[in-house]
Amino acid sequence: MREELFKKIPKQVFLLGVISFFTDFASEMLYPIAPLFLTVTLGASMATVGLIEGIAEITAGLLKGYFGNLSDKLGKRSIFVVIGYSLSSIAKPLPGFFPKIGTVLGSRITDRFGKGIRTAPRDAILAAHSDGNSGAIFGFHRGMDTLGAVIGPVTALILLNFLHSSYQQVYIYAIIPSIFAIIFTFTIKDVKTKRDVNNKLTYGEFWKSAPDEYKKLLYLVIIFSLVNSSDVFLILKSKSISSSDTLAIGGYVFYNIIYAFASYPIGIFADKIGKKNVFVLGIFIFSFVYLGFALFSNNIIVFILFAFYGLYSSTNEGIIKAWISDITQHEYLGSAIGLLTMSSGLSIMLGSIIAGILWDSFGSTVPFLVTSAVSFIVGILIYFLKK
């Protein structure tokens, strides 16, 4: 088992993992403090926080679809990786120099713009290097990505301590890991595809040839995404329970630690027992976590819930992309992953806005209960999904 766990990872997969590590290092220095920066420093409402996150997600979602399809047409992936990561890296520190709600919105949109450009082409490169171990490949990448999400918030906490809780200055320091991410993007190489097959490919044509399993899965993921609002609401809920920035961000760090170290083993596990089984288990865990946040107001329970949320996350994004790569031809992977992420991004946008409005109108319990109930039903439906 030990030898299998540490089975050699292809060089390009490892390099993409390093890029994601540094990118998430920078992003996650800012992600947990962004809602606090908005609400405490800039005086934004919960609805505004939800709107900003929603707009950011729809930007990424729409572009993932377009650039995924474009990378299939061109048969090129690496150029999108370079441009996408570079844009995100440049945008991150802007609110540190211009502390306005509009700047935060612009920074988040540009950051997500870069994510939309790079995500589907990058995932197609990852899938191209898998050999019956797509779960392990995507699990390793998610693990590296999330390791950066562990280091980032810890760094933010340290900086906040030395900078006397200045959220604004933390934004400026995030430029350091971003530079390393940009440098490593130039090491990524293209994987050859059958360009003659894809030159005139449209999403309409792709949809006609897509497997029924993919189509049904897409519909259910869209429904799930409607109640899977931004993680900033978990951070804000933790802050309302603990009345402490440190505990709120600390819980988020703990979640990312579990997420980082569970992703690769769970990816290997999914290769053995099936991606669907692992994905469904994750959705049930997700439902349990949101129910717990809705019903309990105890600091220790919050940390336990964040641990389970880390397990859920390790069964989600990487696993579903591995599942899709198993049922879709490589030449169409950019379109397949792009369409799914685009559709879920639109749903998350609506879900984030609705969650913010429900919170402002009825308190935090209602959106968490709704999310728990709907996600549990979706998990049951996916379990009975047939190939």
Higher pLDDT, 207 or 53: 207
Threshold 0.85, pTM exceeds: no
**pLDDT score for 373:** 94
Q: Which of 4-8, 129-133, 152-156, 356-360 has the lowest mean pLDDT?
A: 4-8
Q: Are 345 and 62 in contact (CB under 8 A)?
A: yes
> What is the dotted CATH code of the domain comprising 10-191+205-383?
1.20.1250.20
Q: Is the pLDDT confidence value at 165 over 80?
A: no
For residue 107, is pLDDT > 70? Answer: yes
Average pLDDT over residues 305-319: 91
> How far is residue 318's CA from residue 266's CA, in Å, rounded to a whole number?
10
pLDDT band for position 56 (cuts 50, 70, 90): confident
Work out the percent of the chain whose per-residue pLDDT is above 90. 22
Q: pLDDT digit string (tens) for 230-243?
A: 777 888 888 777 77
pLDDT at 228: 85
Residue for token digits 């949320």? Answer: 309
- Structure tokens given for 108: 């988040």
Phi, psi of 283 (to 5 degrees): -65, -40
CB 270 within 8 A of CB 322: yes
2: pLDDT strictly greater than 60? no
CB 20 within 8 A of CB 139: no
Q: Looking at 33-37, 112-116, 352-356, which range is the least confident one?
A: 33-37
| Contact criterion met (CB below 8 Å) for 233 and 285 | no
Q: What's at 1, amino acid-wise?
A: M
Predicted confidence (pLDDT) per residue in 182-235, tens digit:
999 999 988 765 555 555 667 777 788 888 888 899 999 999 998 887 777 888
- Predicted confidence (pLDDT) at residue 337 exceeds the cutoff of 90: no
Res 133: pLDDT: 82
Q: Any idea where the domains of the chain sit in the sequence?
A: 10-191+205-383
Give me the pLDDT at residue 345, please.
75
pLDDT at 48 over 80: no
Do 114 and 83 touch, CB atoms closer than 8 A? yes
The per-residue pLDDT of the chain, averaged, comes to 83
Predicted confidence at residue 230, as pLDDT, reads: 73
Top-confidence residue, 105 or 25: 25
